[in-house]
A and B are shown apart, each in its own frame.
Chain A
């Protein structure tokens, strides 16, 4: 790389911003979140678990930007550490469901016939299960833990991806370059990995980005119900759960963690929509249901 004058770089950034404002804003929020999560131990002003009982329920001030909770812990520091949980849940859950969904969709779309029929019936069955209730049951009876949440979200959310990949594969199969590759006797596995999957990954990338947002929302709801990350470890959901007890005397306890969830999920949604528009301008603004 040659050194370029910074003005060129700046103007590039601004054209990028004008062309894809969604990706720009979404990317900015997501980057900030990732950096925050990775550097929480250096940027957090206090130990997130440190209880200072003399400083209980202090409103936001210069010392405690977002106030303190019922044990005198610094809300801002807890919020920073909580971003790690959200990030981890988002990425692991999404990796699981992308892996399952892509595999099922690819196999169904490539082989067709009874394999396709069987796998698509499986998708129908999973779609019929009231997901949130199933998640509630599993977590409540198997035990609340961050790993369980990731696995359950991963195991129930793959159906959309499977349908997407299957659709892509069905249309790719008819394309000439795939036909040609088949004709020269390429192995199935190589054909799928080298030629079909890379061409089907666009929509999957969009689904993955939006999926991270959904998973973070779900994790925060479960933690809010007490089924997620267990106190004293901070997660945005369990901070809200604890804050609800002090709704009448400490507004900051329920306000800031909620805002954190909101902006994070908003970031992933903006990024996902932006990527969709970029990959397929025909669908611009047509929405995730479209």
Chain B
């Protein structure tokens, strides 16, 4: 087990390097560098100014040298400065983390609180009404693009009925509101993004929970538990559910990157000031250092999430052995 863990941790280093090289290459394949883009926005720009900018950003160096400089600084946790406002990338990113963790963290909790009972219930009442209901629901969930669901909700709640705000985390004149209505304002802004983010993964998680529970309640030990006369409550909650939850808990690990990465589309639609939107804005403005910074952090958490999922599995299920 320990050997396996160490090997997995060490594997993350070449993987991260590989991902960073890949991202770097993709970005620099692009026609148009940030200096030219920047200059194109203004008229009558002096060509020598573009040249100066390119030198300043280090864009004139050969690609491998640019990557090497990036890597050198990365090793000291220096992600460079944002092209947009010359502030350190780490600070730019750090500012966006709370908003994303707030939205995605709450959504992750809500997701499991709703999806697991749905899936487990569907498995228990297999092929009965509740199961049918859940399966129709999951089909809809798989098929409706969630950015469109977001638009529809905005249309209904924000435009037609006018009862919920549709953009941002809080009202722009929040500071002028009395303290007691600030909480309500935050809550109102949270409802739609939270609903859509949660909905986005609800179908797959409840489906997963159903499969997992179905596998368990067909096992011999469940029949044994029933045969020896345990109450149905005991059988389901003590014997079946605890085993069915094992694979579900590991899903938490796989969802970890989304807590930080946020949902690019949802955050963009709702003008939510989080990491997903930051990534999107930097991509559009060719802000290389920020794209690299966010990309590498997200890749790290994706790898970490996979790793935690494996550990969780081994810790919870003694039958699983890695060697």
Contacts and interface: CB of A to CB of B under 8 A. Distances in A.
Interface of A: 125, 127-130, 132-134, 136-138, 140-143, 213, 217, 220-221, 224-225, 240, 243-244, 247-248, 251, 254-255, 258, 261-263, 265-266, 269-270, 273, 285-290
B302 A128 contact: yes
Contacts of A265: 142-145
Contact of A125 (B18, B31, B264): B18
Contacts, number: 132
* Main SS class of interface, A: helix
Given A133-B298, A143-B31, A251 B283 contact: no
B145 A217 contact: yes
Give the one of A130, A244, A270, A286 with max B CB within 10 A.
A130
A108 B283 CA distance: 37
A220 B268 CA distance: 15
A136 to B, nearest CB: 6
B88 interface: no
Contacts of A290: 211, 215
A287 B151 contact: no
Given A137-B295, A266-B140, 7 more contacts: A127-B306, A133-B264, A244-B269, A254-B152, A261-B148, A270-B139, A286-B210
B15 A125 contact: yes
Contacts of A143: 30-31
Given A137-B295, A247-B159, A287-B211, A221 B265 contact: yes
Contacts of B29: 141-142
A240 B148 contact: yes
Given A130-B298, A248-B159, A286 B211 contact: yes
A137 B143 contact: no
Nearest to A243: B151
B239 to A, nearest CB: 21
Contacts of B22: 129, 134
Contacts of B155: 247, 251, 254-255
Contacts of A138: 26
A258 B19 contact: no
Contact of B207 (A142, A243, A258, A289): A289
B145 A269 contact: no
8 contacts: A129-B19, A129-B22, A133-B295, A137-B27, A140-B284, A266-B143, A269-B142, A289-B211
A269 B143 contact: yes
Nearest to B148: A258
Contacts of B214: 286
Contact of A141 (B30, B151, B279, B306): B30
Contacts of B30: 140-143
B291 interface: yes
Given A128-B299, A270-B139, A285-B135, A258 B152 contact: yes
Given A130-B257, A266-B140, A225 B268 contact: yes
B208 interface: yes
A17 B26 CA distance: 49
